[in-house]
Amino acid sequence: MTIDMMMVPFAVPAACGFVVDGILLVATHGSLNPIMQELSTRNLALFPSIVPLKKLLQTLATLDAILCPEWDYRYFSFNSHGSSTEQMASMRNGQGDSFFALFNPSGCFLKGFGHESPMSPYRDSDPEPWPALFDELPDCFTDCLTEPAFDIEASTFCIWNRYANLGWQLSPKLQFPEGVDPDGSADLLYMLDGNPEKYIEYAIACYEKNIDSIAVEQIYNHQPLNDRLIQQLNADNSMEALVDEIVEIGYPIA
Residue 63: enclosing H or E segment and its boundaries?
A: helix 50-67
The per-residue pLDDT for 2 is: 43
pLDDT given at position 3: 41
- Cβ neighbour number for residue 113 with a 10 Å cutoff: 26
CA angle 48, 50, 55 (to 5 degrees): 80
Angle formed by the axes of helices 239-249 and 50-67, to 10°? 160
Q: Is the pLDDT of residue 118 over 60?
A: yes
Rg (CA), the chain: 18
What are the phi and psi torsion angles at 13 (to 5°)?
-60, 155
Mean pLDDT, to the nearest integer, of 224-246? Answer: 96
> Under a CB-based contact definition with an 8 Å cutoff, are residues 218 and 230 in contact?
no
Pairing type for strands 157-162 and 76-79 reads unpaired
Give per-residue pLDDT as tens, 6-54.
333 323 233 333 333 333 343 444 444 444 457 999 999 999 999 999 9
Residue 219: Cβ-neighbour burial (10 angstroms; 0-12, 13-18, 19+):
buried
Q: Residue 125: its pLDDT value, please? A: 78
Band of residue 83 on the pLDDT scale cut at 50, 70, 90: confident
| pLDDT at res. 10 | 28
Give the percent of the chain with pLDDT over 90: 76
Among 34-38, 85-89, 106-110, 140-144, the range scoring the smallest mean pLDDT is 34-38
Strand 23-28's sheet: what is its strand order? 17-20, 23-28, 31-34
Q: Residue 50, Cα to own-chain centre: how many angstroms? A: 14
The residues with which 112 forms a beta bridge, in sequence order, are 99, 157
The pLDDT value recorded for residue 236 is 94
Half-sphere CA count of 72, side-chain side, radius 13 A: 0
Helices (H) and strands (E) in the chain, counts: 6, 10
**Of the given ranges (22-26, 50-54, 126-130, 209-213), which has the lowest mean pLDDT?**
22-26
DSSP at 82: S
97: pLDDT strictly greater than 90 = yes
Per the prediction, the chain carries an average pLDDT of 87
In this prediction, residues 72-97 reach a mean pLDDT of: 93
Residue 189 CA to residue 41 CA, distance in Å, equals 9
Q: What is the pLDDT of residue 243?
A: 97
Q: Tell me, what's the pLDDT at 25? A: 41
Averaged pLDDT, 139-168: 94
Mean pLDDT of 113-132: 92
76 DSSP β-pair partners: 91
CB-count exposure of residue 128 (10 Å: 0-12, 13-18, 19+): exposed
Question: Is residue 243 within 8 Å of 237, Cβ to Cβ?
Answer: no
* Mean pLDDT value of segment 93-116: 96
Question: Residue 218: phi, psi to the nearest 5?
Answer: -65, -40
